[in-house]
Chains A and B, each alone.
Chain A
Amino acid sequence: MAAPDSRSSAERRGVLVIPAYNEAPRLPGLLARIAAEALPLEVAVVDDGSRDDTSEVAARAGATVLRHPFNLGYGAGLQTGYKYALAAGAPWVVQMDADGQHDPRDVKRLLEPIERAECDLVIGSRFLEPTGYAMGALRQLGRRFFIGIAGAFGFRVTDPTSGFQALGRRVLELYAGDAFPSDYPDVDVLLTAHRHGLVVHEISVTMHAGERPSTLHGGMKSVWYLYKMMLSLWAASSRIPKAKRKEKRDGRNGDARAPA
């Protein structure tokens, strides 16, 4: 893997990964709000083959720009950030969406359990506590369905589709592999982390309403999403070696839970 600039600031600070596709109009506002928080993180915007000025806007705001030569998908964008962070020796990554739904003021809280080595992955949950976040009926149904499936594998989580997460190095190493999906990494990758014995926590975060409706869970895409996620969940549950299964049965419990 290509090593970023030798011993970059990421090595000391961790990386804030923001996958972005045609987000030039909204990035300046988000990056300004991030800068105002003076976070101890290198901000890396992954431009997933945008047709607008996403890269230029991000570079002008002082972010590191990782530019895909063509569109690869949201998951691949995240993974590029993970690979960059790993190569830079970053101790952890925080990921957030570029559409302004996630609040940079929550980043420090998201990181704290990982900095204290209490867990490997922290999910910013919209549903752990009442936050007033509204979700369409179909998406709500889908969320409950996948939460149920994850529960069947002994993994309890309230917001498996949250894109606001903090990840420790062990998670980055797992997610940098070829099994990580290029499109929608959701409950399947969380289940993979759980089944690899990584400890997942959730904390409640504020989620602002997006400025444009999500197209991911509408129409035929819902059907494709359902099919693909079922297949991914099956694959995730069948990839763990038997020895690992035995080890997990005998010992660790990796439920997502709120830190004490």
Chain B
Amino acid sequence: MDETVTLARLRELFLENPDLEATRWLALSISALLVAVVLWLVRRRALREEYTPIWVAVSAGLVFVSLRLDLLRELTRAIGAWTPSSTVFFLGELFLVAICLNYAVRLSRAGTQIKNLAQEIAILGARVDAIGARDAREGEPG
């Protein structure tokens, strides 16, 4: 048998693999757990509300994918992957790269703000020292 045909058939076998209920429930459980953790962190003030939408979106995406595995299979065919799990990993990696870049930008901005604040404190401190020295001179007798 032609080797190319064999590989193509093998890929079809992977893609035709019936959905596993266990996989579906695992994805649903993880998304529910993610939402619960996000809510818990917000309640503890460990996570600010403005940072929650991305995680809620991830959770919603997981729910959607676990309910519509047929769409995941179509996407897998479209991008040339062999198995739906590969597609999930690929999307996950893209997401991680994007979020790391996003946080690096936020961190850079926060670093600049911290530096500016520290410089402002230094300048204010010099001003306080100068005022203190002037008051001390004016308070001296004679």
Name A residues whose Cβ lies closer than 8 Å to a Cβ of B. Answer: 1-5, 8, 44, 46, 59, 64-70, 72, 76, 79-80, 83-84, 87, 178, 182
Contact = CB atoms under 8 A, between A and B. Distances in A.
Contact of B119 (A8, A44, A64, A80): A80
A55 B131 CA distance: 17
Interface of B: 112, 115-116, 118-127, 129-131, 134
Chain B interface mostly helix, strand, loop or mixed? helix
Contacts, number: 59
B91 to A, nearest CB: 30
Contacts of A72: 115, 118-119
Contacts of B122: 46, 66-69, 80, 84
A69 B115 CA distance: 10
Contact of B112 (A46, A83, A178): A178
Contacts of A70: 118
B118 A4 contact: no
A231 B121 CA distance: 30
Contacts of A182: 115
A68 B119 contact: yes
Given A1-B120, A2-B120, A5-B134, A76 B115 contact: yes
A87 B123 CA distance: 9
Contacts of B119: 68, 72, 76, 79-80, 83
Nearest to A86: B123
A67 B125 contact: yes
